[in-house]
Amino acid sequence: MNRVAVTGIGIISPIGKNLGETYDSLISESTGISNIEILNTRHKNSFVVGEIKLTHNELIEIAKVDTYKTWTRTALLGIIAAKQAIKDANIDTKIETALISATTVGGMDRSELHYKEMVEGNHKEYIDLHHAGNSTEMIAENCNISGLTTTISTACSSSLNSILVGSRLIKNGLVKQAVVGGTDSLSKFTLNGFNTLMILDKEHCRPFDDSRAGLNLGEGSAFLVLEDLESAITSKKKIYAVVSGYANANDAHHQTASSNEGTGPFLSMQQALDEASLTPADIDYINVHGTGTYNNDLTEGIAIKRLFGNKLPRFSSTKGYTGHTLGAAGVIESVISILALNNNFIPPNINFSAAIKEIDIEPETKLTNDICLSNVLTNSFGFGGNDSSIVYSSAKNYSSVNTQISKLKKEVYINGMGCLSPQNTIGGKLINYTPPDNDSNYLQILKPNYRDYINPKLLRRMSKVVRMGIISSGIALKDANVIKPDAIITGTGMGCMEDTEKFLNAMIANDEELLTPTAFIQSTHNTIGGAIALGLNNHSYNLTYVHRTFSFESALLDSMIMINEKKAENVLVGGFDEITKESWSIKTNIGHYKSTQIDAGSLQSRNEPGAIAGEGSAFFSLSRKKTDTTYASIIDTDFILNSNKDKKIGAFILGFLKRNNYSPVDIDLLLLGRNGDSKYDYIYDELYDELFAESNSIDYKYLCGEFDTSSAIATWLGAQIIKNNKIPDIFPKPTNTSKNFNTILIYNQFRNSNHSLILLGSCK
């Protein structure tokens, strides 16, 4: 089996601005936990945190970025770490390089400071920076990465999942190398959110100690460069470690708390060992998640004892050094694990004094030197029950390899679908156009009777987008006759906007006091994926992608890889986003949405600046096998950040079609993402004239509006058209009536950025 090598490392955290400083702090047992100095919060004297003692301007100087641009702290930390890793690996980022980044905070560190002003039309420069994908795009731009780029957000397991995904891309021959990791900065939103959960320790955290009282928040960023191991050996690269095993599982117990049995952590560790072809006895050290909270440390300890029995490997939590760096925790602790592997030491679990009575296991409490480590395990667990583990092995174990990597065939079948949109799509029929209310500024879903689908006891605290996801996913599974999928993979641009706004407004109005946890708990992007897993008692792979208008395509690509790796027989994949009055107002202030009321009679012909805003949710049950319920096949998907002189969109599409043995004349129907924005709809016209003048085309967004995952609605529509061989009557009649609708190409972009393609085929 081919393996993946770590050939470059970059890190900035509370214990060091680079790899050398990080190592020195670990072996000198120097903590980065201290009083708050940089973050402007009323709680400065209430909590200690792992804070990087560098101002915004100092970070700009270290990152060597343009001073005239507006930056988030999250993006700056990410750029610093990614640049270090790329330089360390000495790679050419223009050669088939993927960037898989992770974050939970995103641009919140800037937008939370000016949220009220943004709603009122001021501080427009911060609005688009709020998006989780912004930091990834800034890293790509400043590191000259133009290959496959996306963002993952699965709460505190986010960056470990980015390493997992990057490894799978390389192992399946989709890219030659990948820059993977994550970045998160301290923010008032997360500080107050965790405070409402009452799991912040006002003193230095004490992971795995019987007196533990909570976690210390932290910030930081780390990135790894991954390459195919054989190529790295052949080119005599410095190899820090081999990514020998990885896994993601879901605890399916509670949105924030882990189960008494530690099922999710147990499965992620066990499956990572299986992937690495190792036994529990082969693990020499575990860098545990070890947050210092009562629940996490107990259940992680239970899971470790379940897997390793009485022969526990040495283990320690290093959050006493850095604090809990949220989405960046997994990669920062991976760097620490790799340092231990290369330098023959184990960092101590500082602040420990007494074992947890219920499990009676003790971490390493003193620095262990001169110890030979061959395989180390790193854990990261997050909200939504999202649990991930990675095994790093010494490169000495792999002096030579003999592998062949073949390009992955990605075609899969849609065997079930469910869709909520501003149209009557919930019944699974072809669209019967429903005009919006004349007094509306944006398109909202036609609300079903929620009680028909969800237990009324659960509805009271469940936000709209969570309901949307649960209902549409349930319909898709029922349609495919699948009870429990082998993976749940979701895409969303903005996640639970309603809950994020609710908590943010309360935090501002109450000056960071008198807050309740519900909205904060549901504000994470992977809330819907976790909620679906919880409802199905599903412990399988569960990831959420959050990169603007190809969030759904990223989830779709992962699904196709999972199926064709034979890691899953049936995968549930979906895309969803909601519109709120405040989010519409904010995006209207920067010209992204139309500011005038929607006129149902002229909706299709609107042609002034700004898009028609909307919302929706569409889920699909995918498989390698056709069934009696199959709608269509998904042949392939691809996406790029920008079309520039090096990557013209026409050339991108031709290359995409060619690798799938198609040409433009083979496309029976184009589904195009025109949204009524006069500044950017010309892109579709130029593309049509250049490549597809003989093909039929329809525009789908006037039915659902513009939102980040609208291409999921287009996929639902395209699959319906293929199965029924009919375009809904609301659309103009096709110009070429001689063609059947066997092949459909979906093309979407937003403001000439984040271009994506989905190719659908007939199964007849």
What domains can be seen in the chain, in order of their start residue? 4-397 (3.40.47.10), 412-761 (3.40.47.10)
* SS3 state of residue 635: strand
Asked whether 568 and 562 are in contact (CB, 8 A), the reply is: yes
| Rounded mean pLDDT, 746-752 | 96
Asked whether 388 and 245 are in contact (CB, 8 A), the reply is: no
Q: State residue 157's pLDDT score.
A: 96
Alpha helices by DSSP H, listed for 71-112, are 73-89, 108-111
Cα torsion angle, 419, 421, 423, 426, sign: positive
* SS3 state of residue 561: helix
Asked if pLDDT for residue 578 goes beyond 60, the answer is: yes
* C-alpha 90: how far from chain center: 27
* pLDDT tier for residue 301 given thresholds of 50, 70 and 90: very high
Q: Is 405 exposed, middle or buried (0-12, 13-18, 19+ CB in 10 A)?
A: middle
Dump pLDDT digits (tens) for 513-540. 999 999 999 999 999 999 999 999 999 9
Give the DSSP H or E segment for 755: strand 753-761
Parallel, antiparallel or unpaired: strands 669-672 and 696-699: parallel
Parallel, antiparallel or unpaired: strands 345-346 and 314-316: unpaired
Asked whether 419 and 425 are in contact (CB, 8 A), the reply is: yes
Dump pLDDT digits (tens) for 527-576. 999 999 999 999 999 999 999 999 999 999 999 999 999 999 999 999 99
Dump pLDDT digits (tens) for 716-726. 999 999 999 99
Q: Which of 614, 550, 694 is nearest to 606 (CA)?
A: 614
Asked whether 121 and 295 are in contact (CB, 8 A), the reply is: no
Dump pLDDT digits (tens) for 665-699. 999 999 999 998 999 999 999 999 999 988 899 99
More confident residue, 595 or 242: 242
* pLDDT tier for residue 198 given thresholds of 50, 70 and 90: very high
Dump pLDDT digits (tens) for 225-257. 999 999 999 999 999 999 999 999 999 898 888
Q: Copy the structure tokens of residue 643.
A: 């079309």
* pLDDT tier for residue 402 given thresholds of 50, 70 and 90: low
Q: State residue 606's pLDDT score.
A: 73
* SS3 state of residue 706: strand
The answer to which of 351-365, 435-449, 476-490 has the lowest mean pLDDT is 435-449
Parallel, antiparallel or unpaired: strands 48-50 and 4-12: unpaired
Q: Which residues of 43-78 are buried (b: 16+ CB within 10 A; e: fewer)?
A: beeebbbbbbebeeeebbebbebeeeeebbbbbbbb
| Rounded mean pLDDT, 698-706 | 92
Q: Which of 641, 718, 634 is nearest to 673 (CA)?
A: 718
* pLDDT tier for residue 168 given thresholds of 50, 70 and 90: very high
Paired strand residues for 569? none
Furthest C-alpha separation in the chain: 78
Cα torsion angle, 364, 368, 372, 374, sign: positive
Cα torsion angle, 278, 284, 287, 288, sign: positive
| Whole-Å CA distances, 630 to 414, 470, 488 | 6, 22, 19
Residue type, position 497, single letter: M
Q: State residue 660's pLDDT score.
A: 95
Q: State residue 8's pLDDT score.
A: 98
Pairwise CA distance, residues 618 & 624, whole Å: 20
Q: State residue 289's pLDDT score.
A: 97
Q: Copy the structure tokens of residue 121.
A: 């039309």
Q: Which residue do the tokens 């429903």 mark?
A: 434
Asked whether 191 and 44 are in contact (CB, 8 A), the reply is: no
Pairwise CA distance, residues 21 & 42, whole Å: 31
Q: Which of 404, 417, 406 is nearest to 574 (CA)?
A: 417
Parallel, antiparallel or unpaired: strands 412-420 and 632-642: antiparallel
Q: State residue 328's pLDDT score.
A: 98
Q: State residue 410's pLDDT score.
A: 81
CB atoms within 10 A of CB 569: 15
Residues 6+ apart with CB under 8 A from 685: none
Pairwise CA distance, residues 132 & 135, whole Å: 7
Give the DSSP H or E segment for 698: strand 696-699
Q: State residue 603's pLDDT score.
A: 65
| Rounded mean pLDDT, 66-72 | 94
Q: State residue 458's pLDDT score.
A: 87
If you write DSSP's letter for every residue of 397-419 in order, what string do you get? Answer: G-S-------PPP--EEEEEEEE
Pairwise CA distance, residues 158 & 104, whole Å: 8
Q: State residue 433's pLDDT score.
A: 73
Asked whether 539 and 267 are in contact (CB, 8 A), the reply is: yes
Pairwise CA distance, residues 108 & 189, whole Å: 8
Pairwise CA distance, residues 341 & 236, whole Å: 19
Give the DSSP H or E segment for 332: helix 329-343
Pairwise CA distance, residues 148 & 759, whole Å: 17
Report the chain's mean pLDDT, rounded to a whole number: 93
Asked if pLDDT for residue 327 goes beyond 80, the answer is: yes
CB atoms within 10 A of CB 371: 14
CB atoms within 10 A of CB 401: 17
Residues 6+ apart with CB under 8 A from 576: 465, 468, 469, 472, 490, 491, 492, 528, 616, 617, 618, 709, 712
Asked whether 403 and 233 are in contact (CB, 8 A), the reply is: no
Q: State residue 461's pLDDT score.
A: 82
Pairwise CA distance, residues 285 & 313, whole Å: 6
Residues 6+ apart with CB under 8 A from 750: 548, 549, 611, 673, 675, 680, 706, 708
Q: State residue 403's pLDDT score.
A: 54
Q: State residue 95's pLDDT score.
A: 86
Q: State residue 694's pLDDT score.
A: 84
* pLDDT tier for residue 647 given thresholds of 50, 70 and 90: low
Q: Copy the structure tokens of residue 133.
A: 């994908």
Pairwise CA distance, residues 631 & 652, whole Å: 27
Asked if pLDDT for residue 123 goes beyond 60, the answer is: yes
Asked whether 745 and 634 are in contact (CB, 8 A), the reply is: no
Q: Copy the structure tokens of residue 183.
A: 């970045």
